């Protein structure tokens, strides 16, 4: 079985589809509410320097989340 | 509907709640509807802002409650809990809302409808205000508002709050909706109960709501490529570029910082010259005495101390409003997050903290842009530790006078410059440590997600920008200004009373006697057996005596004596045991006390207390006179010098860390709507300043001995 890919590993400039958001705490709930639900297409538009947050495009808007938060979002292969 | 005459407005007011995601223009809509809020405070027990306003429409009085910006009604944070409580009518002291206006960003309807879907379930009459419609037009986003209204089961009104478009229609719809029960949104229940067994309950709910939203929006939103797409796209490409984006960010921040640091200076000079002229005028009109002193040194100086902040506040808020208006403010937070997350803050603290290097007051006010109450409070508490421009004259004078001007091994770099840089570093390092400690103790809690919308590039709306500037300046003048003037008057009274002319004359006489005796004893020693240092002392004493014989010199000596005998002087003597470990004599302690209204006052106070009279440390002649006098100052009754290198360093470290700025404390109180936080800030900063100064003095003395 191949290891799961998270949103953190998606290369800048490419698009992938969300498979699941791991965890049920505050952060995971917020990610879901912001529209990162299973099945949605997300484009990684950019990343801040020095390992800063990621810039995503989904549901017609741009969202910024930290890399540690992006690690909770698993992507469909 | 008509109301019987004589019923007070409050009783027949309709309570309307404004709810919406952050950055949807909710505050602009509030201002467009209600103007200046009638009440701004905190909800009991939390630092979540309560903002109330009132408006009249066609004989109806509407009470508006502006809720903090929220993404969801599933309560996870204090502000969301407040929003839920207010909407359910469970907030003590807040009337049960009769209508809720959901403010939704037309450029980003899909995500904004998430909160709408939760609101519609509450059953409260709902009206949707679509904001940023002008931006949506520019971006080529077309919406079928009528169809949207039908599918949601509530009125949808297009508003452009900055131009007051759609406000009347919104009020009309609010009045029409009030009293009519809100039907449950069609199809939502079916979506929510549909089984999605593979996901957690939270995920299932989010999936179901977005499913419903997708159905609602089907065929309603049309995205046409906008006419000026190419320009906006290329701006966007630069903004998100790894190299150019970073470079542009650095340039923008540098421009913003230098403008509040340097561009505000000429305006501040004009203001201080105007205040001086006013003081001189009042001095000419009023007879000498207590009233003149109160007007000139209490009231006019106090008002001047308030107005002087206006240029910096206006400039910073101009920049913030422009950055916010074009969507760049969130980008700054995005880029700087990595740097601040390590100490427990987030990228949103960057601009408030950067601005605090110019002045903590606009910096603390800029913390309004941080939605998370905990992060906002933490930022407000550490912002005054950034070395502001008021500390610079203190550093410059002491570095120039007491730090040996020797090279440090790097070309062009000399020790005073290194010490100056260290003072700035001390503030930053201590702020980082304080933030880290507070975040892991008092402000401990689950990690706050940094989930933030990044609006694309758009042109700022100038009306909104000017309104922001005006609001920030007027709120500072109205709320903080009066209190700052009051504090200045209290400190003036403490430094002017008690005032007994006989005692003052006696002290001046005793001083003259002391100087004469000292000179005589020095003169009696044969000149060749006298060390160079004592010869210098003799020359200095002769100079002081000569100055005392002039009219100005006598007046200065009397002022000095009056201040030493005042409550403030007594306070200085009283705290002497406390400041001795810092290497200070009671005069320095006294000057530190007197600088409570503002740090830069310390130099002027030192001038008065060392009998130089009213001096302006900005004038090079005055400053060098002050330096000479400070250098020659000795401990009472001895020839031991007060100002040595360790004392100068300890004084600088103290001023780097202390909270000797009444205006900052007042603004902290006004921004947090609580008197607890300024007290906390003052207490922790004073303790740190004392510890830092003590360590500096003791270590410095130990190393140099």
| Closest CA of chain B from A71, distance in Å | 13
Count other C-beta atoms under 10 Å from residue B244's C-beta: 12
Looking at per-residue pLDDT, the higher value among B679 and B368 belongs to: B679
Residue A26's pLDDT band (cuts 50, 70, 90): confident
B203·A48 Cβ contact <8 A: no
Under 8 Å between Cβ of B432 and A46: no
Residues B74, A69: C-beta atoms closer than 8 Å: no
Band of residue B364 on the pLDDT scale cut at 50, 70, 90:
very high
**Does residue B138 surpass a pLDDT of 90?**
no
Res. B612 pLDDT band, cuts 50 70 90: low
> Chain B residue closest to A69 (CA)?
B449
Residues B222-238, buried b or exposed e (16+ Cβ, 10 A)?
Answer: eeeebeeeeebeeebee
Contacts of A64 in chain B (CB under 8 A): 330, 334, 450-454
Peptide bond into B75 cis (omega under 30): no
- Give the tens place of pLDDT for each residue, B406-446: 888 777 778 888 888 899 899 999 999 999 999 888 888 77
Look at residue B3 in the predicted model and tell me its pLDDT.
Answer: 41
pLDDT at B15: 93
Tokens coding B371: 């939605």
pLDDT at A1: 45
Do A60 and B246 make contact, defined as CB atoms within 8 angstroms? Answer: no
Average of per-residue pLDDT across B627-638: 76
Does B347 contact A69 at a Cβ distance shorter than 8 Å? no
Contact A30 B449 (CB under 8 A): yes
Cβ of A35 within 8 Å of Cβ of B110? The answer is yes
Which of B28, B16, B324 minimizes the C-alpha distance to B166?
A: B28
CB contact under 8 A, B451 and A50: no
Distances (CA, A) of B624 to B392, B538, B616: 16, 19, 11
The DSSP element (H or E) to which B425 belongs, if any, is: helix B415-440
Q: What is the mean pLDDT of residues A4-10?
A: 89
Q: Tell me what ipTM this predicted complex has.
A: 0.94
Q: Is the pLDDT of residue B311 over 80?
A: yes
DSSP string, B546-599: HHHHSHHHHHHHHHHHHHHHSHHHHHHHHTHHHHGGGT--HHHHHHHHHTSS-T
**In Å, how far is A6's CA from the nearest CA of chain B?**
17
* Number of helices and strands in chain A (H, E): 2, 6
In DSSP terms, B414 is beta-bridged to B407
Q: How confident is the model at residue B597 (pLDDT cuts 50, 70, 90)?
A: confident
Which of B 235-294 lie inside 8 A of A, CB atoms?
Answer: 240-242, 245-246
The fraction of chain B above a pLDDT of 70, given in percent, is 92
In the predicted model, what is the mean pLDDT of residues B2-16? 58
The CA distance from B455 to the nearest CA of chain A, in Å, is: 6
More confident residue, B31 or B456: B31
Mark yes or no for CB contact A35/B201 under 8 Å. no
Residue B241, pLDDT > 90, answer: no
Q: Please work out, in degrees rounded to the nearest 5, the angle formed at the alpha carbon of residue B32 by the alpha carbons of B30 and B34.
A: 60
Q: CA B217, CA B147: separation in Å to the nearest integer?
A: 9
Dist. CA A41–CA B358, nearest whole Å: 44
In terms of pLDDT, which residue wins out, B539 or B366? B366
Q: Do residue A53 and residue B201 have CB atoms under 8 angstroms apart?
A: no
Least confident of A24-38, B502-516, B607-621: B607-621
A31-49: average pLDDT: 91
Contacts of A27 in chain B (CB under 8 A): 446-447, 449, 451
- Indicate the range of A20-34, B289-303, B674-688 predicted with least confidence: B289-303
Task: Say whether pLDDT at B169 is over 90.
Answer: yes
The pLDDT score that the predictor gives to residue B2 is 39
Return the residue in A64, A65, A71, A72 with the most chain B beta carbons within 10 A, the one to mutate for interface testing: A64
B329: which 2 tokens?
């403010």
Overall average pLDDT of the B305-327 stretch? 84
Residue in chain B closest to A39 (alpha carbons) equals B207
**DSSP structure class, residue B166:** T
| pLDDT band at residue A15 under the 50/70/90 scheme | very high
Residue B9 has pLDDT above 60, yes or no: no
Tokens representing B301 are 């100086």
CA dihedral over B30, A57, B126, B175, signed as positive or negative: positive
Reduce the DSSP state of residue A46 to 3 states and report it.
Answer: strand
Averaged confidence pLDDT in chain B: 83
Compute the distance between CA of residue B51 and CA of residue A12 in angstroms, rounded to an integer. 41
Q: What is the mean pLDDT of residues B647-664?
A: 91
| Percent with pLDDT over 90 in chain B | 22
Closest Cα of chain B to A55: distance in Å? Answer: 8
- Measured between CA atoms, the residue of chain B closest to residue A21 is B203
Tokens of B167: 């406000």
Dist. CA B101–CA B16, nearest whole Å = 7
Q: Chain A partners of B453 at a C-beta cutoff of 8 Å?
A: 61-64
Pairwise pLDDT comparison (B99 vs B388), residue with the higher score:
B99
B23 vs B25: CA distance, rounded Å: 6
pLDDT at A3 (0 to 100): 62
Q: Which residues pair with A57 in a beta bridge?
A: A43, A62
Structure tokens given for B237: 């490409």
């Amino acid at each position: 079985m191949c290891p799961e890919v998270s949103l953190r590993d998606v290369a800048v400039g490419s698009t992938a589809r969300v498979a699941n958001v791991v965890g049920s705490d505050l952060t995971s709930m917020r990610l879901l509410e912001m529209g990162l639900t299973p099945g949605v297409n997300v484009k990684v538009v950019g990343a801040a320097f020095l390992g800063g947050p990621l810039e995503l495009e989904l549901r017609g808007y741009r969202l910024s989340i930290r890399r540690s938060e992006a690690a909770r979002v698993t992507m469909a292969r | 509907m008509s109301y019987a005459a004589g019923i007070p407005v409050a009783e027949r007011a309709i309570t309307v709640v404004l709810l919406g995601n952050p950055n949807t223009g909710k505050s602009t809509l509030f201002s467009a509807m209600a103007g200046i809020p009638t009440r701004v405070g905190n909800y009991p027990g939390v630092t979540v802002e309560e903002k109330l306003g009132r408006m009249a429409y066609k004989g109806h009085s509407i009470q508006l409650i502006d809720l903090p910006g929220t993404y969801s009604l599933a309560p996870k944070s204090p502000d969301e809990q407040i929003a839920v409580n207010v909407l359910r009518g469970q907030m003590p002291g807040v009337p049960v809302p009769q209508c809720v206006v959901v403010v939704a960003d037309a450029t980003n309807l899909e995500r904004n409808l998430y909160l709408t879907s939760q609101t519609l379930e509450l059953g409260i009459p709902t009206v949707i205000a679509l904001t940023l419609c002008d931006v949506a037009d520019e971006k080529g986003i077309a919406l079928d508002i009528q169809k949207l209204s039908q599918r949601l089961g509530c009125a949808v009104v297009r508003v452009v709050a900055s131009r007051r478009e759609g406000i009347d229609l919104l009020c009309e719809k609010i009045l029409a909706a009030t009293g009519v029960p809100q039907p449950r949104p069609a199809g939502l229940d079916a979506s929510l109960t549909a089984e999605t067994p593979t996901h957690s309950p939270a995920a299932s709910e989010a999936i179901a709501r977005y499913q419903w939203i997708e159905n609602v929006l089907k065929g309603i939103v049309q995205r046409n490529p906008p006419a000026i797409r190419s320009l906006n796209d290329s701006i966007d490409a630069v903004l998100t570029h790894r190299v150019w984006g970073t470079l542009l960010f650095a340039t923008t921040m540098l421009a913003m910082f230098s403008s509040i640091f340097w561009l505000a200076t000429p305006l501040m000079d004009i203001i201080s010259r105007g205040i001086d002229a006013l003081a001189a005028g009042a001095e000419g009109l009023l007879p000498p005495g207590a009233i003149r002193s109160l007007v000139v040194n209490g009231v006019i100086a106090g008002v001047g101390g308030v107005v002087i902040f206006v240029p910096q506040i206006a400039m910073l808020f101009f920049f913030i409003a422009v950055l916010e208006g074009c969507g760049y403010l969130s980008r700054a937070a995005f880029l700087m997050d990595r740097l601040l997350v390590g100490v427990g803050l987030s990228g949103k603290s960057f601009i408030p903290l950067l601005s605090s290097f110019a002045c903590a007051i606009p910096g603390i006010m800029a913390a309004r842009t941080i939605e998370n109450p905990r992060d906002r409070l933490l930022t407000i508490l550490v912002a005054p530790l950034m070395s502001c421009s008021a500390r610079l004259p203190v550093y410059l004078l002491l570095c120039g006078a007491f730090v040996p001007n020797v090279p440090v091994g790097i070309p062009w770099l000399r020790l005073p410059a290194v010490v100056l840089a260290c003072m700035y570093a001390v503030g930053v390092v201590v702020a980082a440590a304080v933030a880290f400690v507070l975040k892991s103790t008092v402000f401990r809690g689950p990690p706050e997600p940094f989930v933030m919308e990044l609006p694309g590039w758009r042109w700022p709306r100038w009306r909104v920008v000017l309104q922001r500037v005006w609001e920030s300046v007027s709120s500072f003048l109205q709320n903080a200004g009066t209190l700052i003037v009051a504090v200045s008057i209290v400190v003036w009274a403490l430094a002017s009373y008690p005032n007994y002319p006989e005692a003052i004359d006696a002290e001046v006489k005793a001083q003259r006697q002391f100087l004469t005796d000292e000179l005589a004893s020095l003169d009696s020693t044969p000149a060749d057996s006298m060390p160079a240092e004592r010869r210098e002392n003799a020359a200095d004493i002769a100079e002081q005596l000569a100055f005392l014989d002039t009219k100005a010199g006598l007046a200065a000596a009397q002022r000095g004596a009056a201040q030493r005998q005042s409550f403030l002087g007594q306070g200085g003597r009283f705290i002497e045991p406390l400041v001795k470990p810092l290497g200070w004599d009671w005069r320095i302690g006294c000057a530190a006390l007197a600088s409570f209204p503002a740090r830069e006052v310390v130099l002027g106070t030192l001038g008065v207390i060392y009998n130089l009279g009213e001096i302006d440390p900005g004038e090079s002649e005055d400053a060098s006179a002050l330096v000479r006098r400070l250098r020659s100052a000795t401990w009472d009754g001895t020839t031991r010098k007060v100002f040595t290198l360790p004392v100068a360093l300890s004084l600088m470290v103290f001023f780097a860390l202390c909270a000797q700025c009444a205006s900052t404390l007042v603004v902290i109180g006004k921004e947090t709507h609580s008197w607890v936080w300024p007290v906390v800030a003052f207490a922790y900063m004073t303790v740190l300043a004392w510890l830092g100064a003590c360590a500096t003095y003791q270590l410095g003395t130990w190393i140099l001995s």
